[in-house]
Amino acid sequence: MTHKDDRAEFEAHKVKQSLALGRDKTVFQGSVDHMLQLDPYDYSYLWSWMGAPIIQMPADVMATQEVIWNTKPDIIIETGVARGGSVLFMASLLQLMGHGRVIGVDIDIRAHNRDTIETHPMAHRVTLIEGGSTSDSVLDAVRAEIPSGARVMVVLDSDHSRDHVLEECRAYGPLVTPGCYMVVADTMIGHVAEENAPTNRSKSWFAGNEPLSALRDYMAESDLFEVDEVLNGKLVLSSSPGGYVRRRAE
């Protein structure tokens, strides 16, 4: 039996449904409410990637994987290393594709987290830089790790205050190459009022002082990026809805 090649139709249906989901405010609010219900169980802390803790929602892991596969960056810069799972996750994808490095930047890379990364099978695709992500010395060190002509992607996942994230957008946004992505993590906080904000964190953020506000302000002052409506449309049960933006073609 010969079956019709329906791959194009399948992909077109995905796009249609993703855009429709992105317009459904009731479903999105339900997603936010559900994530707040999960937070007392530290849901985003319960996962690992190849043995290393990855403090991410599963939907964001899948979305980041799609971005990396579709754009095939040579360099991925992530601010905020934490326990190392995210940099190792992205490094493993680059390993599968046969090229590339992840540059992990953090103001405090603790010895046990550095050990997790540097003894991991993917360590050869990771470069760690310790220091404030927007300091001149760190930015110089990051730029020195980017080969000429490299395709560059950025993930911003460090201090989530509005002012810091905006400063990071201004510093790292221009490093992203056309067609590649900047991911501003934890934009979901922008949909949470102060009275509902999670309190079991070392710091507490809520609407107005968080990454989504910073990204919106950055997008208003710069025309370098455009929102990927399809990808962001399907980001329910995600910590970063609206946070995936693509560098425009020059």
pLDDT digits (tens, 9 = 90+) for 11-61: 999 999 999 999 999 999 999 999 999 999 999 999 999 999 999 999 999
* Rounded to 5°, angle at Cα 174 from 173 and 175: 90
pTM here is 0.94
> Residue 132: what residue type?
G
For the chain, domain boundaries: 8-157+164-205+218-247
pLDDT (tens digit per residue) in 80-95: 999 999 999 999 999 9
* Structure-derived torsion over alpha carbons of residues 213, 217, 220, 226, reported in degrees to the nearest 10: -60
Alpha-carbon distances, residue 81 vs 64, 132, 182 (angstroms): 16, 12, 16
Instruction: Answer yes or no: is pLDDT of 203 > 70.
Output: no
Name 121's Cβ contacts closer than 8 Å, sequence gap at least 6. 50
**What would the CATH number be for the domain defined by 8-157+164-205+218-247?**
3.40.50.150
